[in-house]
Amino acid sequence: MNVSRITGVGMYVPENVVTNDDLSKIMDTNDVWIQERTGIKERRHIQKGDGNSTSVMGAKASRIAIERAGLTPYDIDMIVFATLSPDMYFPGGGVEIQEMLEMRTIPALDVRNQCSGFIYALSIADQYIKTGMCKHVLVIGSENHSGGLDMTTRGRGVSVIFGDGAGAVVVSESEDNNRGILSTHLHSEGKYKKELMLEGPSTGYWVPEIMADNPQENIPYYPYMNGQFVFKHAVVRFSEVIQEGLEANGFKTSDIDMLIPHQANLRISQFIQHKLKLSDAQVFNNIQKYGNTTAASIPIALTEAWEKGKINKGDLVVLAAFGSGFTWASAVIRW
């Protein structure tokens, strides 16, 4: 079986910085309240007229990743695009990337696993490489949250958390059996789907119902999150899926050179770090600057960590995520 390895990484975030103080001007919140609960200081939001969208940001991150892999868009054999915020209800963003990058008529697959989406997408790329179906797969996580948030006091519990941005990696066939994606581990538990969801617009709650209804709270076309419930499950599932990945490959937590968790909440990451007895040098967080970018958070953090020289050849890198679905996942990589 072939070995798959990440050969290029890239990220893009909008230039528009939205600080906690900026949010305090449009809703009843403040910097201290937000930082105490999430660890977030600022995030990036698309501005009308800046030319960005979920797919446009994904394409920008992809160009960087492809160039760093020493390839051209023509070399890519498949696109796997993870997002909960596509430009259109259908078709998905994968085909937009194919057009934007002027690629061959390669397959373009869209993944809808929210916060776990990038690792789910990475696992698909890994299997296509290992089975010999593809040599180079482009994996993208991109989100435009700001276009669908309730930016009022009513929605502050969710809206202060999320930011916009994109990250991408190229997964390639490798002849080096000592480096690459060692394993991925995916899980779901749908009975908790309503604890973190966006009910509509959907075929079950479409335009006529939206126009007829006038709810004052828990508006179905804005995201809903039971924050404490999600936090309690996240810290358990994060730990479990990280340990699952390590045990599958004969490693211990002390063997981790870099853990990159989904940037959901700094308090969750710190809890996991303490539970696994990892040092600050073994965990990378950048939610402070970008907020929660859902499917984009891991590839953005992975790219930034690599750019800062915190990930080097031979390092044991672990990715982990938990989110809506509930879904959770991990990937163990020898860089």
Q: Among 63, 249, 264, 46, which residue's Cα sits nearest to residue 164?
A: 46
Query: For this structure, is 292 an active site residue?
Result: yes
DSSP class of residue 91? S
- Choose the catalytic residue: 115, 144, 145, 233: 115
Query: For this structure, is 115 an active site residue?
Result: yes
Residue 320 carries which side chain, given as an amino acid letter?
A: A
Strand-pair partners of 80: 109, 139
Is residue 216 classed as helix, strand or coil in its secondary structure?
A: coil
CA 136 to CA 91: how far, in whole Å?
A: 23
CA 30 to CA 34: how far, in whole Å?
A: 6
- Choose the catalytic residue: 262, 265, 285, 286: 262
CB 157 within 8 A of CB 149: no
Strand-pair partners of 170: 8, 138
Is residue 138 classed as helix, strand or coil in its secondary structure?
A: strand
Is residue 233 classed as helix, strand or coil in its secondary structure?
A: helix
Is residue 108 classed as helix, strand or coil in its secondary structure?
A: strand
Other C-beta atoms lying within 10 Å of the C-beta of residue 332: 24
- Phi then psi for residue 130, to 5 deg, are -65, -30
Other C-beta atoms lying within 10 Å of the C-beta of residue 236: 12
Active-site positions read 115, 262, 292
